[in-house]
Structure 1
């Protein structure tokens, strides 16, 4: 929590001031304020905050999914401020990039819990995304290795075990990853049967 960098995008000056004071009192650092969508996006990409607090339907965001744009670039989680009597909170938190909602009028006791849940959820989402990317890469490398083994079995008459040991030996001898060796083997063996 301490010194978490936050940007606030809110057109209501009084609400923004109160929110800023609550955040500062709780130990957060407000590094920027915006009153429209374009200046908010510029500020977010220049300062890379750890959290963005964004007014639902901020002026200048018509036709622009600001939270979605921020989410697409994995910059920070977005917490919306909204009049909960007029908006369906469940619908708001299903929007891309939105990790929480602060009700209007501001309920000071809700600020820290909403901010902390948004930060923790975003961190968890980014960690899961990295794991997914890592698994996707491992799967792709496994497919390449399997293809190289298949070609060695077909073209060189090796058993599956011999083909794998052959790839493994080259990988160890050259000190390069198995997938890289497999790609080279595929390229060479496919060239042999080329036109």
Structure 2
């Protein structure tokens, strides 16, 4: 599960949000009271959600958003008067006074969106370097020459071996080359 950072200038507010989230099964939840603390915590984590107020002693939410790693989403909790005329791009905003069910459903929505992005990223084809492309071409050429396969047949063979062995196309091409040159 993604990490959640509760960041509010008042320690009591950060603690209350942290308690609400923990009570409802969200772990780990970190409490911070300054933008610098949030950035330090974010550095040690590999993504998550920052639930924060509008202003800290050292920065405002827009500045924090710009400085946060892209692996973090931001949920701003403030009165609409504070964020309605500001640049809230890249943030989801909840208005004060806060309703617990709105907070929880918004967090759940953000976590689902993170999962979808992660899945989409995994299914995107990887870009190969010139060396990797060259290895695959060499393996195809060897298969075509040695086994009298067509180019599409050789490529499908490499793909099938890759899937059967749970290796990348590049690793499979490298194995084919080394086996043929034995």
CA distance in 1, matches of 2:169, 2:23: 54
Scaled by the length of structure 2, the TM-score of the pair is 0.61
CA distance in 1, matches of 2:152, 2:100: 65
Look up the match of 1:137.
127
Look up the match of 2:13.
15
Structure 1 runs (4+) greater than 4 angstroms displaced: 47-50, 62-65, 138-149, 162-169, 175-183
Backbone CA RMSD of aligned residues:
4.9
Q: 1:51, 1:78 within 8 Å by CA — same for their partners in 2?
A: yes
1:127 lines up with 2:124 in the alignment: no
The runs of 5 or more residues in structure 2 that have no matched partner are 175-182
Cα distance change, pair 130–105 in 1 and its aligned pair in 2 (3 A): same
Scaled by the length of structure 1, the TM-score of the pair is 0.58
CA distance in 2, matches of 1:179, 1:70: 34
Pick from 46, 52, 55 the counterpart of residue 54 of structure 1: 52
Look up the match of 1:24.
22
Cα distance change, pair 115–145 in 1 and its aligned pair in 2 (3 A): same
Q: 2:8, 2:52 within 8 Å by CA — same for their partners in 1?
A: yes
Cα distance change, pair 143–5 in 1 and its aligned pair in 2 (3 A): closer
Give the paired residue count. 172
Cα distance change, pair 141–168 in 1 and its aligned pair in 2 (3 A): farther
Cα distance change, pair 80–144 in 1 and its aligned pair in 2 (3 A): farther
Pick from 61, 84, 91 the counterpart of residue 88 of structure 1: 84
